[in-house]
Homo-oligomer: A and B are copies of this chain.
Amino acid sequence: MQPLRRRQLIDATLASIDQHGLHNTTIVTISRLAGVSSGIISHYFGGKNGLLEASMRHLLKELGDTYKARLAKVSTDDAEGRVMAVLEANFDRVQTSPAACKTWLAFWAEAMHQPELARLQKVNAQRLLSNLRAALKQLLPAARAQLVAQGLAALIDGVWLRGALEGGIDTQQAKALCRDYLAQQLKYKDS
């Protein structure tokens, strides 16, 4: 029963943030969406904050799982394929829904003054960067790989941010933008 309820409450949390925004999300809006009483949140998560942290962990895990699934489909020496796996995962349908974008942005903002959320966010940002850099090192000089990895990471986050504010990401256009950046940068080899 415990894992069922926890999942149910996390889903309700994401739904509430989508509908009302984080700052209008209360334990009442969450518990009402989950169809349970408000008291149960403290019972399973130790409080509202614990639930928010668990919800962010859930999103991060979902992103990580999607990336691993994409990565498993490309061979280890297919560097360009590994970069594309990062892009595909980040612009997966699940991650680019208006609800997901809103929630990510809300958590990012909250992380600025909530140490545990900041920690989670930092780990994720670092992993994104290091995944990109590792793959790019097979295609470019180390210093160049570092720069392009930072560029791609910023491009991904920027597209996401602008998408969140506009109410949705055009995933095709987003991927085209990143793929174009990568293609232009790989020409560097020849120059």
> B161 touching A159 by the CB < 8 A rule?
no
Judge if A112 is at the interface, Cβ distance under 8 Å. Answer: yes
> A151 touching B180 by the CB < 8 A rule?
yes
> A122 touching B165 by the CB < 8 A rule?
yes
> B165 touching A177 by the CB < 8 A rule?
no
Q: For A22, A24, A113, A166, which residue has the most chain B Cβ atoms within 10 angstroms?
A: A113
Copies in the complex: 2
> A180 touching B147 by the CB < 8 A rule?
yes
Judge if A32 is at the interface, Cβ distance under 8 Å. Answer: no
> A165 touching B106 by the CB < 8 A rule?
no
A111 CA / B164 CA spacing, docked (Å): 10
A113 CA / B20 CA spacing, docked (Å): 7
Judge if A155 is at the interface, Cβ distance under 8 Å. Answer: yes
> B161 touching A151 by the CB < 8 A rule?
no
**A window 10-27: CB within 8 A of B:** 20-24
Judge if A133 is at the interface, Cβ distance under 8 Å. Answer: no
A residues whose Cβ falls under 8 Å from a Cβ of B: 20-24, 102, 105-106, 108-114, 118, 121-122, 125, 147, 150-151, 153-162, 164-166, 173, 176-177, 180-181, 184-185, 187-188
17 A-B pairs with CB atoms under 8 Å apart are: A21-B112, A22-B23, A108-B165, A109-B109, A111-B165, A118-B165, A151-B155, A151-B177, A153-B158, A154-B158, A154-B162, A154-B177, A157-B162, A158-B158, A161-B161, A184-B184, A187-B187
The 5 closest A-B pairs by CB, nearest first: A158-B158, A154-B158, A21-B113, A109-B109, A157-B158
